[in-house]
Amino acid sequence: MTTNNSPLRLGGVTEVADELGVTRQQVTKLRQRPGFPAPIAELSAGAIWDLDMIRRWRGSGLRRGAGRPEAAAGPQSVGRRFELGNKLGEGGFASVYWARDLASAGDRARTAVKILREADPDIVARFERELRLMSEFNHVNLMPVIASGNDPDVGMWYAMPLALGSLADEVGNITEPEEIAKVMRAVCRGLAHIHSEGIFHRDLKPENVLRSRGGEWAIADFGLARVVDESSVLTETYDVMGSHYYMAPEQMRDSKHVDARADVYSAGKIMQALIIKGLPVNDDIPAGPLRGVIQRAISPDRERRYESATHLLDAIEAVFRPVPPGFWETAEDRGQRLFPRLEAGYIADPTAFDELEQWANEIDLNDYDDMGEFAWAFCALPVESVERWWEGNPTTFTRVFQAFVRRLSGNFGFTTCDRLANFAERAARVTQDLTILKEAICGLAELGMHHNRWHVRDVAVTMLQRIRDTDEALAALEGLREAEPGTAAWTVGDSVVRTLHPVLRAGLADLFTDKPSF
């Protein structure tokens, strides 16, 4: 067996015959077999072979005795170099086989060969593009191509290093946030590299993230990849064949006009799959340090996602920046510390704002005591901070605001009640979102009645009287319906009802016990 330091053993027909223990005439016949190693050079004196490759071929299953026909079960070799073994799997258009590279020795000889099964011109063109793209990659987080070809018996193929497995095998095993972050660093770096080359993957999912034999995670399978500014006659028939659980909504609608944010969405879904230990069939993400990052990455609106894989990676890294050693504080301490830094009327302290967002990701939103302290800091956010959070991650803001509203049914001091009410109105006004409006009206009605706080009632009434749009009236009415019985009547009296939108007037008549006429 040769090593990296061993001299290359070369030879002609005579040396090949000696290596195999056959005659020169038999070597001539053996050369006609599809699996016989190709010479590395053709000189005027004759062909020259790598004798170590000949030796490995001799010990492989590709050599057969005279008169013994080849099995018809499947291809035995490709490229006169790769001895094929068991089929590892099948995709939409191709099959992947375990293979042994006769041109290499040891661990490097273990490869995987992907063979195209289809003859459809569009699929062939896609396979050729995938091969071209992968052949140009030179990055540790992208799976490389070792060799490729188009054999008469098997068609188009390419070989790549045999992976230790895919990320799909680790869903349910890689669960700690730090472990997930390590995987995503590799995925983001691989994406950033192809994006810098004007390439979008468009089929990123755990099955297409492979662990190399060096232990690195590498992106593979570029069958649906798209190249920026590359004119294409390929049809869209196969463009939406990526797994829909990981595919960005805009790709399902118009696969030809996606950008890097479609891959960011898929990367976010991969993180979600690892967190929940299964298929990411919805957008529910449990509490944890990565929740906010994931929610922004998988926003249905691509304008609200991270702009690039690099920005996504920056957000992941920010989550795990080290905390000062020995530093610990209660939820009450944290809320009191953050409140004055967030109340400045502008985002005067971005660090405090970022910490509040991270706290929102980590907190148990159903914990009564902790949510009470969080609500105190949350309500300090000025208009500009609400705008920043809403524009950056409306999904997280909505989820946190809904938990904030649920907590309003608890106990607070009078001064705190007023601050909470003012913030609920501020959030509804800034976001102009129907869900936020509904939640705010519901929370204010309960907060005001439980504490008999007229300032809270006045805030709710002012919000209701501002409504001119039918959809807003329906949202506010739904909020009053979801509030505890009796809160609507406490919040809105006869004189107020007459000043409200007709939809609200009609709906409130059904909520009041005495059914007054408006």
How far is residue 112 CA from its own chain's centroid? 26
Cα–Cα distance, 334 to 328 (Å, whole number): 9
Cα–Cα distance, 459 to 477 (Å, whole number): 16
| Tokens coding 91 | 């995709």
Known binder of ligand: residue 114?
yes
The answer to whether the beta carbons of residues 305 and 296 sit under 8 Å apart is yes
Burial of 22 (0-12, 13-18, 19+ CB in 10 A): middle
Beta bridge partners of 41: 48
Q: Which of 63, 61, 59, 56 is nearest to 30 (CA)?
A: 63
Distant-in-sequence, close-in-space partners of 350: CB < 8 Å, separation ≥ 6: none
Residue 86 phi, psi (nearest 5): -70, 150
Place of tokens 């009191």: 336
Cα–Cα distance, 379 to 416 (Å, whole number): 9
Other residues' Cβ atoms within 10 Å of the Cβ of residue 466: 14
Cα–Cα distance, 177 to 271 (Å, whole number): 9
Other residues' Cβ atoms within 10 Å of the Cβ of residue 327: 6
Residue list, annotated binding site: 114
Residue list, annotated binding site for ATP: 114
